[in-house]
Structure 1
Amino acid sequence: MKNNRLFKILYYVLEKGKVTANELAEKYEVSVRTIYRDIDVISSAGIPIYATQGKGGGIEISDDFVLRKSLLSGEEQEQILIALKGLEGTSKEYENELLTKLSALFKMKNTNWIEVDFDSWQGNKAYGELFRDIKSAIINKNIVKFRYFSSSKEETYREVKPVRLLFKSWDWYVYGFCLLRNDFRYFKLSRIKAFETCSESFDDQFDSIVLPREVKTEDTVAVKLKFDKTVAFRVYDEMAEHAAEDKDGNLCAEIELPNNDNLYRYILSFGDAVEVLEPENVRKQMREMTTKMAKKYIT
């Protein structure tokens, strides 16, 4: 509690420039004597804070003091500003103001070397509104409900206690306790429809929960694929660590894919720029599927 008060005093004095001990004592509901002891503790930490007596006196911090000199290294400042840039990309209402304040506090002018934007190129406003609604539900601990379209072609109605928002591999997910499945689940925001925040709240304490970084998947199969160099951009986007170029500039990759219909949908998404090399049963299935597809276009 004391350490928290010390930091608040430090930030308050930095913001105001000069304050009185009585003002601080009233604000933090402690005695004036306690405030002077706190000032001594802050000063002993190497922060040039001091008190002057008489008319026009008060508690202040040296004008040339920069927060980084005592508490944060230059690298730590950069990390904070980068994190705030990420938050700014999700909500420009408050984080942008905080970013400006901290940049001034750190006396760092060059903060425009990185830009973070999680919005799609299509400028989908509904997606941003959904993000903000879920964020609000997490903070206020409101149960949410929505229709969800899973990759297994199933459409379900869900009621969820939302815990966290997670950005992973180009997409936003909400992690929460699903009342339908009676277990924790990830839900991809782009597959959520008819979202609604319920008036009903929950008391569960999820603050310390650790999110699983890998989603449990169904049975998978190892496939070896050969890609034309015209789709190299997708290969490098989606499977860079598994891809290798041949002498003609084409790419080969061995990856694990779901052993279900999604396997073939994914392969077909590359059109004629991909060939299945292994295993033979997947290659055979692709041959049969493409033959059926070709028949639909034969007149």
Structure 2
Amino acid sequence: MKLDRRLEILLTLLQSDWVSSQELAEQHKVDKRTINRDMDFLKEAGIPIMGKRGNAGGYKVDDNFKLKNKKLSLKEQHQLMKTIKESDKVSEEQIEYVIDQVEEKIIESTKDWFEIQMEDEKLNEIVRKIKTAILREQEIEIELKSGEIIDGVPEKLIVKEDGLYLGIDKRFIKIERIKIIKLV
């Protein structure tokens, strides 16, 4: 699929210096003209791709937009997602697919940003689900031990002297009060 190839090319460029069109063509089993069209597509979508001709030529992504020996910051992740979402060159279904693929790669590279180990394994699982939802900006549904149901997009985890709290919908809920959490 054309979109898969373009996504793979983008991820390669984000993690590399100059890559020749010949290398990309061989890697994806297409000709160099197809790679050139893919680069035009990515440029039109707002990805800052630079090209250079000649033996030492090829393509690269602007250094300010790169993932090289570092993790993307949340700001860089949002910038990349925004660029993909605002592209008018592909259908909504294709955009959602690309976003899911890119988010999976990016979240994998940033998933160890914060680690908490509690004695209760159930609480550790709750924190892992909250962390995933924060990174994906994904809605959750929680049931408190009191029976109250709360849903929304979690904003942050807060460490206080008396415990760990979830910030959601302008409320702060102590993690120990959560009975069940579901990613929606």
The verdict on a shared fold, with TM-score over 0.5 as the criterion, is: no
The structure having more radius of gyration, on CA atoms, is: 1
Ranked by relative contact order (alpha carbons within 8 Å, sequence separation 6 or more), the top structure is 2
The alignment's TM-score, normalised by the length of structure 2, stands at: 0.44
The normalised TM-score by structure 1 is: 0.29
